[in-house]
Amino acid sequence: MPDSISGETAVQPTLVLASTSTYRRALLERLRLPFTVRSPQTDETPQPGEAPRDLALRLAMAKAQAVAADMPGTWVIGSDQVCACDGHILGKPGNHAAAVSQLRLLRGRTSLFHTALALITPDGRMQRREVPTTVRMRELSDARIENYLRAEQPYDCAGSAKSEGLGIALLETISSDDPTALVGLPLIALCDLLLAGGYPLLGQAA
């Protein structure tokens, strides 16, 4: 598959997504920029007492730094997302039982998704941004939770619901300044960072 969405193959892609997430890759493709993907291989274990926002930012930066160390002179994007509800930090459930527990906790409640973004420029400068998204979930019966999970199996999504898919039926409201933040990569914020760093987005000069 060519790295360029236009069909032109970039000889040496300089934009790198430090993530193997298919969701983030699909979102980045919307910008029609040539990019490649690398796995960051980072430890995502929260530190004792670490706030959800701080955790998301630290992991986004760690992912970008891990890939930038192996690919100097490139533009590297790192991103991470943490869901917080009533003092609980929710990551990817990983399996059905954990997803059931997450949705039972979230039903009828308001949660805050912290989506963090880090960009390392070719000269090694780091920019970062955190985009919060407030989500209120409907009151859901156990049967509806089971029906949803069996249908969509969102076990790789923090909060156990795909808002871009059937999971939207679980939600009452979504509030954010960046419509793609909840899916995993805030594109408005990313464009801000790319432009601030001098990336020729839409052919604009640095």
142-149: long-range pairs with CB below 8 Å, 24+: 142/100, 142/104, 144/170, 145/100, 145/103, 145/104, 145/107, 146/100, 148/103, 149/96, 149/99, 149/100, 149/103
Check pLDDT > 70 for residue 1.
Answer: no
Note the pLDDT of residue 98: 98
Question: Looking at residue 205, what is its pLDDT?
Answer: 55
pLDDT band, residue 44 (cuts 50/70/90): confident
The answer on pLDDT for 13 being more than 90 is no
Is the pLDDT at 206 greater than 80? The verdict is: no
Give the bridge partners for 128, in sequence order: 118
How far apart, in whole angstroms, are the C-alpha atoms of residue 167 and residue 20? 22
In this prediction the pTM is: 0.88
Residue 14: name the closest of 174, 206, 157, 200 by CA.
200
86 pLDDT more than 80: yes
Give the pLDDT mean for 171-196. 97
**8 Å CB contact between 35 and 17:** yes
Q: Following CA atoms 45, 93, 88, 100 in sequence, which dihedral angle do they give, to the nearest 10 degrees?
A: -160
- pLDDT score, position 10: 40
Mean pLDDT (whole number) for 100-107: 97
> Closest Cα partner for 63 from 16, 123, 109, 18?
18
What length does the chain have? 206
80 catalytic? Reply is yes
Instruction: Indicate the pLDDT class of residue 204, thresholds 50, 70 and 90.
Output: low
Q: Which of 54, 70, 80, 156 is catalytic?
A: 80
Distance CA 175, CA 112 (A): 10
Lowest mean pLDDT among 10-19, 106-115, 192-201: 10-19
Q: Per DSSP, what are the bridge partners of residue 175? A: 134
- Region class of 90: left (phi > 0), else alpha (psi between -120 and 50), else beta: beta
